[in-house]
Chains A and B, each alone.
Chain A
Amino acid sequence: MDFYLGLAQVIGVHTLLGLSAWCLLHTGQVSLAQGGFFAIGAYASGMLTTMAGWPLGVALPAAALISATVAVAVGFPALRVKGLMLVVATVAFAEIVRLVCFNLTWRVNTGSGPVGPDGSLGFGGIRYFPSNGWSSIEILILIWGLVAAVMLALAWFDRSRIGTLWRAVGEDEVAAQSVGINLTAAKVSAFGIGGAIAGLSGGIFAHQVTHIEHGNFTILLATFAIAYPILGGLASLWGTVLAVIFIQGFLIEGLRVLGDWRSLLFGALILLVMLLRPSGIITSPIGRWFARSIRFDRPAAPTTGGKTHA
């Protein structure tokens, strides 16, 4: 039973992470920085509850806000690159965050001994849930409550005017600019909102596992984040949820006997979906776009946008 509860928690956390990448994909941005925003949320919320003694209900929104702020700061320089270069730049960012986690040592003394990040040993003792007597079920309900809230918000958002503008930018930047859409505003706001969601999921993750370290935030996590909405497609939020259930529930947990071969399987699966179903399991536009944009020869849109032929 505990196993399934734990798995359901993991799926919830990863769903939030996938939804954060979903936001960026909408504007046509393939970001591998989501793992970094997740890490920032994890460390920030953990430090707030353990070192500053904040309640989780305040620490989580604060962590989301901090991640969003960093994401906006990353979003501006990220405007200058797209396609494969954006992937590379965001990987670099995530790696910097991981190294900061690796080196961050900041311990303070509380009644129950020293707490805080301890460099390469990680950051343990994030025991808000146990010390406040939360059961696994209650944690699970909190996680899925957050998932539901974020999904509702995104579903509403997707139908709102800004959601339409995001999608328009993801479809065709030149056409979007030409009808008056401000690319900077669209892309940076997607970074901000995606960063907030990633920070939130990192925050809940830190408290769920109670011990976090740089090894939690590797490139694999970022790959998962982007793989969910790509596999699930952007047409519907449910695609992302299903993709998380499939990857975490089946591929990672169900096939545990395969050990490290699962990573290979995961990679092969992504390739297969790209080739066979570029629009995702559920079908969607942006997978196709992604398959196209990952090629080197794709010209940068604004300079050739109006190039016409007889």
Chain B
Amino acid sequence: MLELRQLSRNFGGVKALDQLDLSVHKGEILGLIGPNGSGKSTTVNVIAGLYKPSSGSLTFNGIDLSQRSTHERAAVGIARTFQNIRLFANLSVWQNVWAAHVVRDSGWTGLRKRWLASGRTARDEVQELLAFSGLAGKADVLAGNLAFGEQRRLELARAAASGAELLLLDEPAAGMNAEEIDELDARIRSLRDQGRTILLIEHHMELVMAVCDRIAVLNFGRKIAEGTPAQVQNDAAVRGAYLGAEATATT
């Protein structure tokens, strides 16, 4: 569904992404891992349209994304979370999700949809998403006043609310405790079961290995391995670049 071809992005002399080829298939959970500074967030930012690629192409469901601005990419079905959480801090929890939900119902099509809506209204859907994220009781709390783990959950709910087929999750488990990570694991799976496709960037290896169908590994902006969790875990290049040091450090 998403195809990156020979994608590069330079920052001055730094090659944050170096001729990256990556395909995300519909309905899968694809992990994207790599050491700090290997270009994972840059990949998300290029896909979401915050950074322009220096060269290469990216297409989503056959659409050339380079011609689309950030909000248009959201409209065609790409949503994301941020590594450094970016909520609408002074809006309520409910409004955060509502804002992401209503844009897909705006304009003429939205008006028609609302007229013809049979039963499920936008408000019900927002309420469902809040319940799904364990935030139903906090609908009126300002997002900025939430606990850290709740903020991460809200960001995920907001991304899902935009109705996107493809969710780009940039380190959703960062700063979470074991229990919260288990919940996140379940949420990611259930989003996938609802038909979403997920690109998961994570340093938490246990989560990545457990939840991902496939994993791609970056190092210095290059893809050094790709395959099932088992394949990646046993890959010599990966162990050398990353897993060896990381695995002993975190377990």
Contact = CB atoms under 8 A, between A and B. Distances in A.
A56 interface: no
Interface stretch (B99-107, B220-228, B230-238): B99-107
Q: Is the interface of A mostly helix, strand, loop or mixed?
A: helix
Nearest to A285: B90
B170 A308 contact: yes
Contact of A171 (B41, B42, B90, B161): B90
Nearest to B164: A180
Interface in A267-310: 284-286, 302, 305-306, 308-310
A240 B56 CA distance: 51
A292 to B, nearest CB: 12
A111 B82 CA distance: 68
A305 B46 CA distance: 11
B71 A182 contact: yes
Interface stretch (A84-92, A162-170, A222-230, A249-257): A162-170
A7 interface: no
B242 interface: no
A179 interface: yes
A180 B103 contact: yes
Contacts of A182: 71, 103
Contact of B102 (A165, A174, A305): A165
Nearest to A180: B74
Contacts of B48: 178, 306
Contacts of B49: 177
A161 interface: yes
Contacts of A167: 88, 90-91, 95, 99
A121 interface: no
B248 interface: no
B42 to A, nearest CB: 8
Interface string B159-180: 1011000000010000000000
A178 B80 contact: yes
Contacts of B42: 306
B51 interface: yes
A202 to B, nearest CB: 31
A172 interface: yes
Contact of A174 (B50, B69, B91, B105): B50
B84 A181 contact: no
Contacts of A174: 50, 86
B57 interface: no
A174 B88 CA distance: 10
Given A177-B74, A306-B45, A161 B89 contact: no
Given A164-B95, A171-B91, A306-B41, A179 B159 contact: yes
Interface string B37-71: 10001101100111100000000000000000111
B87 A175 contact: yes
A259 to B, nearest CB: 39
Contacts of A310: 36-37
A309 B174 CA distance: 12
Contacts of A183: 71
B83 interface: yes
B71 A168 contact: no
Contacts of B188: none
B99 A168 contact: yes
A180 B104 contact: yes
Nearest to A177: B70
12 contacts: A164-B99, A164-B102, A167-B91, A171-B88, A171-B91, A177-B49, A178-B82, A180-B74, A180-B104, A302-B70, A308-B83, A310-B36
Interface of B: 36-37, 41-42, 44-45, 48-51, 69-71, 74-75, 79-80, 82-84, 86-91, 95-96, 98-100, 102-106, 158-159, 161-162, 170
Given A177-B50, A182-B103, A306-B45, 19 more contacts: A161-B105, A164-B91, A164-B99, A165-B102, A171-B90, A175-B88, A176-B88, A177-B49, A177-B69, A178-B70, A178-B79, A179-B103, A179-B159, A180-B74, A180-B79, A181-B103, A183-B71, A285-B90, A306-B48
